[in-house]
Structure 1
């Protein structure tokens, strides 16, 4: 395991029920994009350490959908959504639903910015329908999953 030198910033917008995540990676946008769209790579980094991941379906194209399951000794946690826009090396727009709270659908946008010298800034936003929903999302432990997941992504990108 390597230790990341990059900080993951997670900010709750005070004006709209949105969470913004910003993170830089020492890899070009093409590699960061591939790690988000290749199921074989995705299972190696998405989510917190200590959870196993299984992908039931993954069709990363406009109109495609996905479903994956994280599991540990306490049970399974399933997530699903639809892809609305996919632009290689720059953008993914999708919905995101935790099946344990099926009414909480988020609209997510992931933007990759080429910083030059083989580096990328990722900015992800997640918009939900209420401040209560956003706060529940933040309270669910998602911060641990995001931070550890991006540390794991650093390891995948370095390999």
Structure 2
């Protein structure tokens, strides 16, 4: 969806997490950790391949598992296949990824740029997600709910990791 100036949509969310930037950054660079917290509520994930370095790629499959909230997948009836490329990795500070959905539907085409910024604050780390060039097929309210859910999952993962 484009706004009145013709630009693609940008969605964002942030949350203060009671963990160090190092803990959160490591949660991104470990595929087992990533797949445990990144899928929003109602989804489960699996990693097909994962190269956490600038220029490295990964592929993740996200499957809708919530019977009370049926959703249509972008790749198949109940699955989204996501291909990502790590564009920039600044240890303990920033992760920038190019995200593409595997889909025959042109409303999901194009590359979304997802930037995760990690900022040290007195309570821990402020994690901010900025998604630029969001495909028009992703409803804004669904995407915002998914981003919030992912941040909640990350906070729970970081708390569990410290325990």
Partner of 2:128: 123
TM-score by length of 1: 0.77
Distance in 1, matches of 2:33 and 2:4, equals 34
Per-residue CA shift, 1:122-151, capped at 9, x if unaligned?
A: 1222211xxxx5554344722232222222
Unaligned segments of structure 2, at least 5 residues: 66-76
Decide whether aligned partners of structure 1 residues 120 and 72 sit closer, same or farther in structure 2, where only a CA change above 3 A counts.
Answer: same
After superposition, where does 1:96-111 map in structure 2 within 5 Å?
Answer: 96-100=99-103, 101=105, 103-111=109-117
TM-score by length of 2: 0.76
Partner of 2:87: 84
Runs of at least 4 residues of structure 1 off by over 6 A? Answer: none
Distance in 2, matches of 1:136 and 1:152, equals 24
Partner of 1:152: 153
Decide whether aligned partners of structure 1 residues 22 and 69 sit closer, same or farther in structure 2, where only a CA change above 3 A counts.
Answer: same
Residue 75 (structure 1) shift: 2.3
Residue 88 (structure 1) shift: 0.9
**Residues 11 and 140, structure 2, Cα contact 8 Å, conserved in 1:** no
**Residues 53 and 70, structure 1, Cα contact 8 Å, conserved in 2:** yes
Larger mean Cα displacement after TM superposition, 135-144 or 16-25? 135-144
**Residues 51 and 71, structure 1, Cα contact 8 Å, conserved in 2:** yes
**Residues 48 and 61, structure 2, Cα contact 8 Å, conserved in 1:** yes
Partner of 2:21: 29
Instruction: Compute the RMSD of aligned alpha carbons.
Output: 2.4
1:63 aligns with 2:55: yes
Residue 39 (structure 1) shift: 0.9
**Residues 23 and 122, structure 1, Cα contact 8 Å, conserved in 2:** yes
Residue 89 (structure 1) shift: 0.3
